[in-house]
Structure 1
Amino acid sequence: MRDNLAIHIEGVVQRRDRFKLGPLSLQVPQGCVTAIVGPNGSGKSSTFKLLLGLSKPDEGYLTMLGQRVDASDDAVLKRRIGYLSEEPFHQEDGMRGRQKADFVRQWYPDWNEILFNKLLSVFEVDPSLKLRRMSKGMRRKFELALIMAHEPELLLLDEPSSGLDPLAWKAMIDVFHRYMEPGTRTIVMATHIVEEVRRLADYIVFMHAGRVLGMYEKDELFSSWSRFFVETGSGLTAASGCAAAASEIPGGCQAEDAGGGVISLSTARPMEAERWLTEQGWTIRARRPMELDDIMEALIERDCREKRVPQGAGSPHRSGAG
């Protein structure tokens, strides 16, 4: 990971009546695309609000582009950032697109009108329409053009492809690739679209229940995580085989009965796991790479198990050593 950080979150905790965010620590490298993935309610949008200063942490600190987020004068910092919220601001529904653009540009000395109009053309957006008259996808594209027109150093994108049709999605991906060409810009996006992560991300951050489960280099993540389908032999039942695998297989996260005397095992260390299975005399029927949602499920299950089981205690059914 690079020395220059676009975002540094250290020891952040935010307490609400029914939700606790953190302790949260995260370092996001500059010049890369980082995707934050996790189920609804995992804390992705709350983290963005903290980064933007829209809410305050109870503990810890955050920096963006080398500046503390809680600085008293953050106008200069915010000019270096473009933020796309998950939902539009309905207070603006009565404005026409061009009116909103005229209002927004006054806050950005580096506003690029040529770029803005080019993006409107690429996205096929009519800025003369009132915002409430735009379809969800068109408004999304308009907002994307708006936040990119001042050529920010950092884009914070909360579900950027929400409402986009396949053609608009491809146009958005191309725009983001071009945005990253200088090599010094950064995108941090919360998304649940697997193909979006594959096409754009350099790093993947998994979040669950207000905490970071891990940050991984994308290619390494997809090349390492595997699911084995094995027969235990040795007279072991599926239940006892799952228990044995769960407690001992290297890198294991999940072990479950796949039916027909076959056990399904997920692991983040497949080479070591394969050697272990061979040493046990178990028969490997298949090995398959795991998709992003499968990896996330395995990490969440391991996280839930570790919160549930005291250190050193035995592992429950469907769990694995991590």
Structure 2
Amino acid sequence: MNAAFDVLIVGGGPIGLACALEAKKAGLSYVIIEKGCVVNSLYNYPLYMTFFSTSERLEIGNVPFVSINPKPTRPEALEYYRRVATSHELNIKLFEEVQQITPNANEYTVITSHRTWHARHIIIATGFYDIPNLLNVPGEQLPKVTHYYKDPHFYATQDVLVIGAHNSAVDAALETYRKGARVTMVIREDAIGSRVKYWVKPDIENRIKEGSIKACFKSSVLAIREKEVDIATPDGNITIANDFVIAMTGYQPNFAFLENAGITLSDDAIKMPVYNPLTMETNMPRMYLAGVVCGGMNTHVWFIENSREHAGKIIAHIKGRA
């Protein structure tokens, strides 16, 4: 049986790495369990994505993040976090999924896809990128529909429908359009989202205004078929030709995982996890939350730059308790 670690961190994203750096600095034994690669969610971001934040606001563990431009790109972020993990020789187990967390006296038993671990404290830093918000319309299960956008070249010369009005949708619409796709956007609101990156927002608005990218505002998708899509618009239902649907409808934390671990969620639509904002400890003793998972369905509350401090709060509380 493995000896119990002081801290087991679920999730090897930027905040999980930050927690590991703080634990190591505090002299605590720790392990990170990550179901994919290092910073797996960032790896699955669009290839050419540029962050909204500047590089210094994405730094963890006081390790400088140097990028060519003030706002770093996905490849630069991947390189930075990989170098942080390897240069600090963080104890991280990759491609190993946590399946069950069970309290056992003064420690937790953690069962993964590979083995069983034991730890006195658990930090859950799993983010919210795993489960897309579904459209729940006929045809959503077709192979032509994706909730994860990666590379615009794939869509060259095709009829592409992009659903959404925020950063991911706008990036997908602009990039596929510039690779020769015929792009239509379906947007529930009456305008492009207010949170769209300020240097991108005029671009998408001008492309829509000139007709290069078509946009159906105050509209929703009714049904998806192999070569068509039905859309409800203020002027009535329409059907357009379509080869691919990129549904940028947002994502949500794995609430079932949190509940199975014993964490209480609010009974409203937000499903806010219960935790102490001063220590990040949940209703489960010695179990903590870190990063964007703390926001429940409010996935635009926490980001890397404003949740980095969670790591210090948690480790300070663990050390104080010890």
Q: TM-score, normalised by structure 1?
A: 0.27
* Larger gyration radius, structure 1 or structure 2: 1
Q: TM-score, normalised by structure 2?
A: 0.27
